[in-house]
Structure 1
Amino acid sequence: MSSRPLNDDEVLTEMNKMVAFIKQEALEKAREIRVKADEEFAIEKAKLVKQEQHAIDAQYEKKRKGAEVAQKIAQSTLTNKSRLKLLQQREEHLQDLFSTARDSIVTLANDEGRYVQFLEGVIVQGFLQLLEPDVTVYARQKDASVLQRAVEGASKQYTNISGRTVNVTPQGTLSNDIAGGVKLISGTSG
């Protein structure tokens, strides 16, 4: 290279080259900054999207569990209502049955022959369940004479069935307000 001074055209050419070089460097630097900014934006965007997805998933899970609980509560309520209705109907049927039985016993108690036969059967069943040598039989005071006949017949039937004897103490201490029947206690009351 020569050491002569550059003329104006050469200076202008050199300056244009330098300006072009600086411009090229600036464009590359701007592109690098843009690429880096785009990458950082994409990373930040992905992070935010992931956070929101987790938040939405958590919210959905909470709502799903709440719906499950509500469904279980509704099912339980329905089951309980159904059970209560069933119990109520059962209670009504039992009350009807008790009422019918009471009416039947009252009617039966008015027919002395059938009532003695009924009491004999019930007393024999009681003897067979207790299998005790001494039994106290309670009945209404107004059934005392009927009870005596029923106890005698029941004692004979019990001996025929079981081969055992039973000592019976008839008592007339049940309330006259009840429909009828007997109550058996093992042992004697005196």
Structure 2
Amino acid sequence: MSQVHAMSDDQVSAELKKMTAFIRQEALEKANEIQIKADEEFAIEKSKLVRQETASIDTAYEKKFKQASMSQQITRSTVSNKTRLRLLSARQELLDKLFEEARGKLPTVTKDKKKYQEVLKGLILEGLYALSENKIQLRARASDYDIVKKSIDDAQKEYKSKTGSDVKIEIDEKEPLPKDSAGGVSIIGGGGKIDINNTFEERLRLLETDALPTIRATLFGENENRKFHD
């Protein structure tokens, strides 16, 4: 039977120191593990918060950017529309002035008798070709009757040479054009039912409507007209 030797005080003290050192070491290692895990969790939570804040900032920035972009578009559109309206208004004023000046110059056309006679012949021929009748009437200013008769002779000859047909043209002296008319003629056919108004006033009015696109293209250019209509 073995004997159990009692430990001396020194031995007991040494053992206690060993146990204390072992427990201390375990505690330090455990504390280090806890610290590492806490740092990892902190890093994860920090990254999560940063992502959330970044997303929030991005969303707010995107919203503000969209608002600023929309505001800029509205401003640009408003300025563009105002500019367009001013330009269109200026163009219309120019066209109105152009036609007003043309209207004021209409009476001067009749001063050159030779030129006026040729113009009247063209206006009469236009009516003859449109009606294709062998008898028509003309209405003109009473002051133009002499020159209109010369134009009638010229128109009849040319009509005959172009179509091979004769046409009788009479001046309706019972119902002349108004004295304040700028000139031209009115061609009556169809037994009085058809009236081709070839007076200078009417031809200018037609220019203001039918020929307006061509006039705009000539004055302002086709590309700019297309730009404003698109």
Counting only pairs closer than 5 Å after superposition, residues 70-149 of structure 1 correspond to structure 2 as: 70-108=71-109, 111=111, 113=113, 115-125=116-126, 130=130, 132-134=131-133, 145=145, 149=149
Contact 2:141–2:183 under 8 Å retained in 1: no
Shift of 1:42: 0.7
**Partner residue of 1:63?**
64
Tell me whether 1:44 sits opposite 2:45 in the alignment: yes
Shift of 1:144: 8.3
**Greater RCO, CA 8 A, separation 6+:** 1
Which letter maps to 2:132?
A: P
Shift of 1:61: 3.1
**Partner residue of 2:158?**
157
What is the count of residue pairs matched by the alignment? 187
Shift of 1:160: 3.7
- What secondary structure, in the 3-state scheme, does the structure 2 residue paired with 1:45 have? helix
Deviations 1:142-176 (A, max 9, x none): 67847963556444434444556667797859777
Aligned equivalents of 2:102, 2:33: Cα separation in 1: 101
Deviations 1:27-47 (A, max 9, x none): 111111110010011111112
Q: Give structure 1 stretches of 5+ with no counterpart.
A: none
Q: Which stretch of the first structure deviates more once superposed, 65-74 or 79-88?
A: 65-74
- What secondary structure, in the 3-state scheme, does the structure 2 residue paired with 1:6 have? coil
Q: Taking structure 1 as reference, are residues 99 and 151 closer, same or farther at Cα in structure 2, changes over 3 Å only? A: farther
TM-score by length of 2: 0.59
Which letter maps to 1:36?
A: K
Shift of 1:52: 2.2
Q: Which stretch of the first structure deviates more once superposed, 153-162 or 89-98?
A: 153-162
Deviations 1:83-134 (A, max 9, x none): 323322221221122111111113445x494655433333434656x4x414
Aligned equivalents of 2:122, 2:93: Cα separation in 1: 29
Q: Taking structure 1 as reference, are residues 151 and 73 closer, same or farther at Cα in structure 2, changes over 3 Å only? A: farther
Q: Which stretch of the first structure deviates more once superposed, 62-71 or 48-57?
A: 62-71
Identity over aligned residues, as a percent?
41
**Partner residue of 2:20?**
19
TM-score by length of 1: 0.68
